[in-house]
Chains A and B, each alone.
Chain A
């Protein structure tokens, strides 16, 4: 029982990271029906960018006092900005021209972009895992026999807060309304005076910025990263988005936490080496039996 509760907490914090990445998948899919394969690599790039920012600031270990807030804010916002811009550039270069092409085409360029990003990151930091400084003091609390670490609480809180901000933005702001309109019907939205190119670019900006935030968090959480990190994490986050119902923001969050839990429980009770197999099997099963996900509406085949 203790083990179970412990893995529950581990799984939720793991899930927080997946949820943040899944938000980007779900927003992009919601608006242009494209699986943005490069998104997982944008997330890894987020870790790389935050590492570069921390190095620039001269931070190599735990920061305490008011400086902590400054350092974390600069690193996280910097990573979000840089990743957001990367996302916009990717959309401009690889997807925009193909918006009306057969669906296979942008999927293939998305895989291409993913490979390009991975290789560029490999040039940047080399092929082996790189350490990430422990910036945040990490006291742990014992609740009965279960330990909760401060960074676990941070991940979960950050994910939930960012999701709520995003949900509010999409629901109540003008730009959010434009995004929903573009997702429903691009042509009609354009006729209503919405600049769909800007709206789609904005979607990529926000989704990739969230991946940047996830990148910083995962650096702090795992204490290391490497250029290929985004492949498996991206696939799991996409699974989360599908599980929750693709296009649905709250669903991405729910799916993220569920996938985190499934992974933590598999690691504990079946074996670490099976965790990927189990998660991808969940993906396959969800797509087969409930392609609309837990919270999504079913989409009819478009003619």
Chain B
């Protein structure tokens, strides 16, 4: 009993400081697969981790810089295919996995720049539609260039990562820890970027591009940097995801994947790293456990409803409801909340000022 109390007070003390919270999250993340002690759960964690990486990458583009990218899955596709082509029997090339992490994220980043360079001059909504078009072109191209990409079958039997003599094999646990490491790296990069000169420039552009340009920010290169950074994160996710699944195929990267990732940001809180991670985990869990379990539950009650058919309805409802009623997300960043409720806040402030003024006059 005493020990339990001491433990609870230790946790409480940790939660109170930012560093303590980080440490706590790390401990929980490392302990999770051992607590679950269940292959399906570890498998889920490893897959969900790849989507956390993707959400963190898209967060740089949409959350920090405010550029709506509706074709983010295209970069995920490019990263995955880059890995697949350089680590499979497809061309007989077998580069080491750890090198390919850099190569694939580099290639995805370069494509981010290639797409961004001509399009970033466009107004926000046009950019959204161009990225959407790009998101359709890329998987379609991979599908059509079947002599290199295996067409609809994709590329299979990809190389598995290994550390020294230890091979990852088909066990989900090492993949989970690898993804966890990548997430830690991505969070470190993203949070440092956010507080850097570049990050502040992104947010300035998000708030008001014209004003940012007048403050001396080179909006084109700044936006390009957001695109490139965001894309390179998806390259990391691509390597992790493809090496675990052992397969890439064009149908893994459709528009619904881009919207799935976007819904993670909208749900969790655009621009806020913890929010994005939580949103991403909620949606992954929804996809993997909650909908199938709910369907089983309803079948048990004698209702013949298949909730797994309602995935898109649920994402759609999340997007609409969140934007209407809580645009800052479940776990908002303070700045974003202030921005999105600017109208209401101003009205409040104006009313207060009016009250003060009336008081002073009388």
For the complex, what is the distance from the CA of A256 to the CA of B311, rounded to whole Å? 33
| Complex contact B210–A303 (CB within 8 A) | yes
Judge if B255 is at the interface, Cβ distance under 8 Å: yes
| Interface pairs (26), CB distance under 8 Å | A34-B125, A98-B323, A107-B68, A107-B124, A107-B128, A109-B323, A111-B259, A112-B315, A112-B318, A112-B323, A113-B316, A114-B316, A115-B315, A115-B319, A116-B313, A116-B317, A238-B129, A273-B144, A277-B144, A280-B133, A280-B134, A283-B133, A287-B126, A288-B118, A288-B119, A301-B123
Rank and list the top 8 A-B pairs by shortest CB-CB distance, nearest first.
A112-B319, A115-B316, A116-B316, A119-B313, A280-B133, A112-B320, A119-B312, A112-B316
Judge if A222 is at the interface, Cβ distance under 8 Å: no
A235-B133, A273-B144, A274-B144 known; A111 and B262 CB under 8 Å? yes
A-chain residues with CB within 8 Å of residue B137 when the two chains form the complex: 276-277, 280-281, 284
Judge if B132 is at the interface, Cβ distance under 8 Å: yes
> Chain B's nearest CB lies how many Å from the CB of A99?
11
Chain A residue with minimal CB distance to B319?
A: A112
| Complex contact B262–A97 (CB within 8 A) | no
For the complex, what is the distance from the CA of A105 to the CA of B322, rounded to whole Å? 9
Judge if A108 is at the interface, Cβ distance under 8 Å: yes
| Complex contact A112–B129 (CB within 8 A) | no
Chain B residue with minimal CB distance to A38?
A: B316
| Complex contact B339–A102 (CB within 8 A) | yes
A-chain residues with CB within 8 Å of residue B262 when the two chains form the complex: 108, 111
For the complex, what is the distance from the CA of A106 to the CA of B210, rounded to whole Å? 21
| Complex contact A103–B124 (CB within 8 A) | yes
Binding site for A on B (CB under 8 A): 62, 66, 68, 70, 118-119, 121-126, 128-130, 132-134, 136-137, 140-141, 143-144, 210, 255, 259, 262, 266, 309-313, 315-320, 323-324, 327, 339-340, 343
For the complex, what is the distance from the CA of A235 to the CA of B136, rounded to whole Å? 10
| Complex contact B125–A111 (CB within 8 A) | no
Chain A residue with minimal CB distance to B133?
A: A280
A-chain residues with CB within 8 Å of residue B143 when the two chains form the complex: 273
Judge if A226 is at the interface, Cβ distance under 8 Å: no
A-chain residues with CB within 8 Å of residue B130 when the two chains form the complex: 283-284, 287-288
| Complex contact A283–B320 (CB within 8 A) | no
A103-B125, A116-B313, A281-B137 known; A94 and B132 CB under 8 Å? no
| Complex contact A283–B129 (CB within 8 A) | yes
Chain A: number of interface residues, binned into ranges? 35 or more
Chain B residue with minimal CB distance to A238?
A: B129
For the complex, what is the distance from the CA of A109 to the CA of B317, rounded to whole Å? 9
Binding site for B on A (CB under 8 A): 33-35, 93-94, 97-98, 100-109, 111-120, 122-123, 231-232, 235, 238-239, 242, 271, 273-274, 276-277, 280-281, 283-284, 287-288, 291, 301, 303
A-chain residues with CB within 8 Å of residue B210 when the two chains form the complex: 301, 303
| Complex contact B125–A101 (CB within 8 A) | no
B-chain residues with CB within 8 Å of residue A109 when the two chains form the complex: 319-320, 323-324
Dominant secondary structure at the A interface: helix
| Complex contact B323–A105 (CB within 8 A) | yes
> Chain A's nearest CB lies how many Å from the CB of B345?
13
> Chain A's nearest CB lies how many Å from the CB of B264?
12
| Complex contact B129–A35 (CB within 8 A) | yes
CB < 8 Å: which of A33, A34, A101, A120 contacts B340?
A: A101
> Chain A's nearest CB lies how many Å from the CB of B140?
5
13 extra interface residue pairs, beta carbon distance < 8 Å, beyond A235-B136, A280-B137:
A98-B324, A103-B124, A109-B319, A111-B319, A112-B319, A115-B313, A119-B309, A277-B136, A277-B140, A287-B122, A287-B126, A291-B126, A301-B210
A115-B313, A119-B312 known; A104 and B324 CB under 8 Å? no
CB < 8 Å: which of B309, B312, B315, B327 contacts A101?
A: B327
> Chain B's nearest CB lies how many Å from the CB of A53?
25
For the complex, what is the distance from the CA of A117 to the CA of B312, rounded to whole Å? 9
B-chain residues with CB within 8 Å of residue A235 when the two chains form the complex: 129, 132-133, 136
CB < 8 Å: which of B66, B259, B309 contacts A122?
A: B309
B-chain residues with CB within 8 Å of residue A113 when the two chains form the complex: 316, 320
CB < 8 Å: which of A116, A119, A231 contacts B320?
A: A116
